[in-house]
A and B are shown apart, each in its own frame.
Chain A
Amino acid sequence: MIKKTLLGAAFAALAMGSFTLAPQPAQATEDNTLVIGTMWESMPLAMKPRRSRFFNESEILDTLVKLDYDLKTIPGLATEWDRVSPTVWQFKLRENVVFHDGTKLDAEAVKFSLERVIDLLPYAADLLNIKSIKAVSPLVVEIENTEPFAALPNQLSDAITVVYAKSSFDEAGEFVKPVGTGPWKFEEYKKQDRTIVTRFDEYWGEKPALEKVVYRYIPDHNSRTLALEAGEIDFVTNMLPSDVKRLSEDEDFKVYAEPTSGLYYGAFNAGEKSVLSDVRIRRAVNALVDRDLIVKGALDDVGEPAWEFFAPTFDWAPQADEKYTLDPELAASLLSDAGYEKTDGKWMKDGEQLTLRILSYSSRTEMPMITEAMAALLNEQGIATEVGMYTWGGMLDLVKQGEYDVSVVFWTPEMTGHPDLHLKSQFHSKAGLNYQFWANAEFDAAVDKGRTLDPGTEQVATYTKAMNILHDEAPIIPLVHKVFVVASTKDLKNYRIHPSGFFFDFKSVSK
């Protein structure tokens, strides 16, 4: 009998795979409530997941500096800021701001919060580069950096720097729950199900039109869009490309699509355990993959082909003097230089075909599709591939050990409106997240210098130099620039996609 049950179970798993998380019976959402379906779980009771982005994107908490719809810095909790000396910044705080627990926001509170963040989140110190924080007067915070640091206001727009009230932490200084100054306050959290925030009436800015936002966690991509179509949710993120097409043709729904911060790229293992330690092969791979076909084939045209690191949509982002191009002849000469010979359409050396171990993770919808498309294109060009799909953690384990050639990942390098964030945290030889075993002293120097410079010709020149090295040394293969797509019911008004990709801005949304 056990066997029968097993057969049944396996069958059910196969046949019903995509429906196992099917939505509950349809129910219309209330007028003053916005229900959104998310791919990631919105976890309000921990700081670390996804670098506390949920607190910022949901606006439970505010950052000192915010970014407008052109990714230019605008006042957040700080109304103005000044560089009083090369290493010292002063931030003037907004008056009459209260936390959700009724306490007032002042310089001491900001100091406390930033110090907690640096203590609790390992990447914060690297990002903020802070030597000391001082409360100069009740509404003026002075931040001293370890070196001249022009990027600070931009870095202070990163979600991990949100300002927490003291009551967010317990007596030992451990995080308990988010108490902030944002337009929404944290109300309820049901594990693996939903997070609810409600309107905070003493908010310092424009008051939200709605009373409540419910973040429903629906990890299955089919189910999430189905929930929207069933009227169970009002808003859905991270849709499948095929759903984008269908919903755009349906009058009952609105589809929003804008280029945002975000790059899908293959990170090369430049270490000794990989054939890609040879820069000629890295450049050859870059010249062999047709990004247009990846966007078309894997993403149904939802995305921009990436031939450079920063998306050209952002005019402040530095670019290398050259872009990658599809150039099989260049690739052929590079591979021949590296000792490979093309026989029977295969690139061979010492009787073995050039083979790349490609890793990626499957929790993000598009990853398997992009990875497989890239592998197929390489195969077509005579390079063999071994593709492995893991969880994010599983992939990272292999990557840290150097047991890979290419790991296909997604990062948001333009998120803070400043080039420093990603160049420093991913490619600098001392960066905590640099698992590519790629180190270039000149690049390090340029990036270290770039963050100290005010916007201007010198900063542009410095970053252009860094980008040129990145282009020539090719530690990555850029694949696709993100186009952020969400959909809502047709009644939803005033929603706009924020280009950081991590900011919902539901304040003005109504329905």
Chain B
Amino acid sequence: MQMERMSFTGGKLFHAGRRVFRGYVLVMALVILAVLILPFFAPNDPYKAQFLFRLKPPSLDYPLGTDALGRCVLSRLMYGARLTTASALAVVMAASLIGSLIGTLAGMVGGIVDRAIMRFCEGMSVFPALAICMIIAGTLGLGLQAVIIALITVHWTDYARVVRNAVIVERTKPYVMAAEALGARHHRIAHRHIFPNIIGPLLTLAAYSMSWAILAFAGLSFLGLGVEPGTPEWGLMIAESRNYLRDHPRLVLAPGLTIAAFVVAVNLLGDMLGDRFRLRQINYLH
């Protein structure tokens, strides 16, 4: 297999990468679609507070019951899915774009640029990411954008490291050396030869980091950063129901288990992609 891979100038893998890429895009498109239309299936208005109908147990009209202000828990979960997924996607896309560009730069240019970028990334990873997010989001002020920017700021370094390592590994391969020997320019090598071959680890990382982003986003909302109170967001729903934990555990369990299930599903996707690309052998991710 290894031999086979080396004997082509990336061509075969390029196609293999493309196939998986297509599958991935399909899955993601379905997920996004599902999440975007989910609110249309919500049985009730997620914002409507009914003070005379609060903390009701599940019923036909309110399949997961109502929360402390009498709002439909299921509808809030469904609206929350869109918000959380969209925000996590924004984080992952922006972070992977920025991280890949900087990582490629480090890998291709090498030398002092490489060292400076990598030391910076390592420096960032020394600190707990959530703590840095809290500081950044706190400085930027409250709001959804602040949290998204904070998560991107922390998260692009993961991509930069992976991409830089992948680029360096690929650069030593004969097909790249051949291309170099033929006089191809740096950016052409990166674009035509290396990038198609590292798309696998990149996508795998994206899947994992999607789940990280969802958790981080929910965690920050739980702590009161991000969305405004009253917004249907999973982390915030847990925070708001926390005071009713002992008498009405379902209020915390519903969003909690939803987050868990969603993260597990995204992680499984990541595992599948990882197997496909045999990342354990290449070990880019560590």
Q: Are A and B bound to each other?
A: yes
Interface residues of A (CB under 8 A from B): 1-3, 6-7, 9-11, 13-15, 17-18, 221-222, 240, 242-243, 246, 293, 296-298, 362, 365, 368-369, 371-373, 375-377, 379-380, 386-390
Are A388 and B228 touching (Cβ within 8 A)?
Answer: yes
Are B211 and A7 touching (Cβ within 8 A)?
Answer: yes
Q: A9-B130, A17-B242, A387-B228 are in contact. Are A380 and B125 (CB under 8 A)?
A: no
> What are 25 contact pairs spanning A and B, CB under 8 A?
A3-B209, A3-B212, A6-B128, A6-B130, A6-B215, A7-B211, A7-B263, A10-B130, A13-B219, A14-B215, A14-B219, A17-B242, A18-B242, A18-B243, A222-B245, A242-B244, A246-B247, A297-B68, A371-B229, A372-B69, A376-B49, A377-B49, A379-B47, A387-B228, A389-B229
Residues of A within 8 A of B230 (CB): 372, 375-376, 387
Are A14 and B259 touching (Cβ within 8 A)?
Answer: yes
Cβ of B119 within 8 Å of any chain A Cβ, yes or no, is no
Are A17 and B222 touching (Cβ within 8 A)?
Answer: yes
Cβ of B196 within 8 Å of any chain A Cβ, yes or no, is no
> A170 CA to B267 CA in the complex, in Å?
61
Closest Cβ–Cβ distance, residue A26 to chain B (whole Å) = 17
Residues of A within 8 A of B33 (CB): none
CB-nearest residue of chain B to A240: B243
> A371 CA to B229 CA in the complex, in Å?
9
Count chain B residues whose beta carbon lies closer than 8 angstroms to a beta carbon of A: 44
| Stretch of B57-65, B175-183, B232-240 with 4 or more beta carbons under 8 angstroms from chain A | B232-240
> A2 CA to B132 CA in the complex, in Å?
14
Top 4 nearest A-B pairs (CB, nearest first) are A376-B49, A297-B51, A10-B215, A293-B51
Residues of A within 8 A of B219 (CB): 10, 13-14
> A13 CA to B224 CA in the complex, in Å?
13
Given contacts A17-B222, A387-B228, could you give 6 more A-B pairs where the C-beta distance is less than 8 Å? A10-B216, A14-B235, A14-B238, A18-B243, A246-B247, A376-B47
Are A10 and B218 touching (Cβ within 8 A)?
Answer: yes
Closest Cβ–Cβ distance, residue A345 to chain B (whole Å) = 12
The dominant DSSP class at the B interface is helix
Interface residues of B (CB under 8 A from A): 47-49, 51-52, 54, 68-70, 125, 128-130, 142, 158, 208-209, 211-212, 215-216, 218-219, 222-224, 228-230, 235, 238-240, 242-247, 256, 259-260, 263, 286
Residues of A within 8 A of B52 (CB): 293, 296
> A221 CA to B159 CA in the complex, in Å?
40
Q: A3-B212, A246-B247, A297-B69 are in contact. Are A14 and B49 (CB under 8 A)?
A: no
Which of B51, B215, B222, B244 meets A373, CB within 8 Å?
Answer: B51
| Candidate in A2, A3, A15, A375 with the most chain B CB atoms within 10 angstroms | A3
Are B242 and A6 touching (Cβ within 8 A)?
Answer: no
> A369 CA to B243 CA in the complex, in Å?
10
Are A296 and B229 touching (Cβ within 8 A)?
Answer: no
Which of B49, B70, B245 meets A18, CB within 8 Å?
Answer: B245
> A1 CA to B130 CA in the complex, in Å?
15
Which of B228, B244, B263, B286 meets A386, CB within 8 Å?
Answer: B228
Are A362 and B212 touching (Cβ within 8 A)?
Answer: no
Are A14 and B218 touching (Cβ within 8 A)?
Answer: yes
Residues of A within 8 A of B259 (CB): 14
Residues of A within 8 A of B256 (CB): 14-15
Residues of A within 8 A of B247 (CB): 242, 246
Residues of A within 8 A of B246 (CB): 222, 242-243, 246
Closest Cβ–Cβ distance, residue B121 to chain A (whole Å) = 11
Closest Cβ–Cβ distance, residue A156 to chain B (whole Å) = 39
Residues of B within 8 A of A243 (CB): 246
Which of B47, B215, B240 meets A368, CB within 8 Å?
Answer: B240
Residues of A within 8 A of B125 (CB): 2
> A9 CA to B247 CA in the complex, in Å?
26
CB-nearest residue of chain A to B129: A6
Residues of A within 8 A of B263 (CB): 7
